[in-house]
Amino acid sequence: MIKELHEKLIKKQISAKELAKQYLDNIKNKNQILNAFITITEQQALEQAEKIDELIVREEKLPVLAGIPASIKDVIMTEGIQTTAGSQILKNYVAPYDASLVKKLKEQGMVLLGKNNCDEFAMGGSGENSSFGPTKNPYDLTRVSGGSSSGSAVAVAAGLSVYSIGTDTGGSVRQPAAFCGVVGFKPTYGAISRYGLIAMASSLDQAGIIAKCIEDVEIVFDCVKGKDRLDSTSLEFPISNESFAFIPQNCGMSAEPPQFPNKSQNSNFKFKDFKVGVPREYFIKGLNKEVEQAVKDVIEKAQELGAKIIDVSLPNSEYALAVYYIIMPSEASANLARYDGIRYGNSPREKYFGDEVKRRIMLGAYALSAGYYDAYYKKAQQVRTLIRQDFEKVLDQVDILITPTTPSPAFKLGEKIADPLQMYLEDIFTVPVNVAGLPAISMPCGKTKNNLPIGVQLIGKWLEDSKLLTVAKKIEDVVKYINN
């Protein structure tokens, strides 16, 4: 989609301003119902679009994302724009600087339409924890959109932005993508700088991309990935495997504009002898039957095309949820200590923090307290190593893993909000990936009888993000084939 829009822009079939207006109109028409945006930056968007139009008139080389309307989850800092993290404690907080990834996108000529709604401090799996009200699922307005990047997934699904940047600490990019029928990609931990992300759990947080197709995700990823001196955990981003390699990208506006991934370079990918691992722990009792069938159909089709399907086991995955819900609140309780109403945030805290945030601060403070540190936090870190080792072992034998993204399709608004444990179970297939720091993607693989989207998750090896995206494109073809 980005590629087509880019071509239309350079051929002057549409101006960047007209394109921005189309999307802003969509937002005006639908946002009141869907609640996908907390802040709409109409004025800035139109000004940015005008600048791009000037480049087009002068026939200057146009960077790949120039003029493409996008949105950003409201836990990511955007200079001069209200950035709330979905919380009343940061209501009216205006970010004094851009997150590194935002800076990179601006260098590309992004047209920023606004900031997407999300669960408060990215804590949630349904979008219902936002203090700005829940985001509704465009496929069924009585259902949740998934979370915590709820507004990002809905904005893309409903045509309110072309792509959005979300964050994924335990599934928050992949799970809403699955519920809303779009693609959600969480790269290897460290692939995209965390500088300027409002921290939830620093050893798990990772920015990710939500878009309509894998190619769009790939284009945006190429522009935001790589080492950032402002985030010491960010990584130089190697191209993992020559046969899957894309053209090396250089995304600075000042330098040569990046090129689109070259199709012919990827076309040498064949399913033949490609090894797909199917972890048996992800096909458990309680998994929704329609979700199970849709994922199995993808696996079967991949096999018909020559992939070797291998039954694998990740025995410690069953502890991933418990490990996550100790490590994440522990880190969150430390990160959120800064909202003391003096340095940051509206005061008093007890009034402006929502229930889920308070719950996690208390859980985290408890797990880290002197008497319990060894029993909880330390133990959880030890099991985290075992989970990671399971993946290491299995990913030595196979190229990727295929699993469902979520145990069920989108559930009803209000269905789980009163029962945090039920809600946490929604993350069962996504959190192991963050605990291990792996790249993973959720992509649509079908619909239920009620027309609700179903997501399939592909998990790749560390740093082999581009290979994962290449395989995902092939699976995308498989899914199209099944659905036709």
Annotated catalytic residues are 73, 148, 172
How far is the CA of 191 from the CAs of 238, 252, 303, in angstroms?
Answer: 10, 17, 31
**Which residues inside 326-365 make contact with ligand GLN, applying CB under 6 A?**
328
Candidate list 89, 110, 123, 191; residue touching ligand GLN; CB under 6 A: 123
Q: With residue 254 as reference, give the H or E element that holds it.
A: none
Of the candidate residues 124, 187, 261, 354, the single one contacting ligand GLN (CB under 6 A): 124
CB of 53 to ligand GLN, least distance (A): 36
Among 125, 257, 439, 453, binds ligand GLN (CB under 6 A): 125
Tell me whether residue 89 or residue 433 sits nearer to ligand GLN (CB atom).
Answer: 433
Taking CB atoms within 8 Å and a gap of at least 24, the contacts of 3-11 are 3/215, 3/219, 3/260, 5/67, 5/68, 5/162, 6/62, 6/64, 6/66, 6/67, 6/68, 9/52, 9/56, 9/62, 9/66, 9/67, 10/56, 10/62
Residue 122 touching ligand GLN (CB under 6 A): yes
- Residue in 108, 130, 137, 169 binding ligand GLN, rule: CB under 6 A: 169
- ∠ CA 168-171-174, nearest 5°, is 90
Question: What's the token pair of residue 202?
Answer: 């620093």
How many other C-beta atoms lie within 10 A of the C-beta of residue 435?
27
Length of the chain: 484
Strand partners, 447: 453
How many residues at the interface with ligand GLN, by CB under 6 A?
Answer: 14
Q: Interacting stretch for ligand GLN, rule CB under 6 A, among 161-169, 271-279, 293-301, 469-477?
A: 161-169
Instruction: Draw the binding track, 130-149, toward ligand GLN (x: CB under 6 A; -: no contact).
Output: ------------------x-
Q: Shortest gap between Cβ of 123 and ligand GLN (angstroms)?
A: 5
Is 169:199 a contact under the CB 8 Å cutoff?
Answer: no
Q: Which of 83, 100, 131, 172 is close enough to bind ligand GLN by CB under 6 A?
A: 172
- For residue 148, is the peptide bond before it cis, meaning its omega torsion is within 30 degrees of 0? yes
Contact string (CB under 6 A) for ligand GLN, positions 187-226, x = contact: -------------x--------------------------
For ligand GLN, which stretch binds (CB under 6 A), given 11-19, 33-41, 120-128, 371-379? 120-128
CB of 297 to ligand GLN, least distance (A): 27
Q: How many angstroms separate the CA atoms of 295 and 459, rounded? A: 14
Peptide bond into 348 cis (omega under 30): yes
Q: How far is the CB of 44 from ligand GLN (least distance, A)?
A: 27
Chain positions contacting ligand GLN, by CB under 6 A: 122-125, 148, 167-172, 200, 328, 427
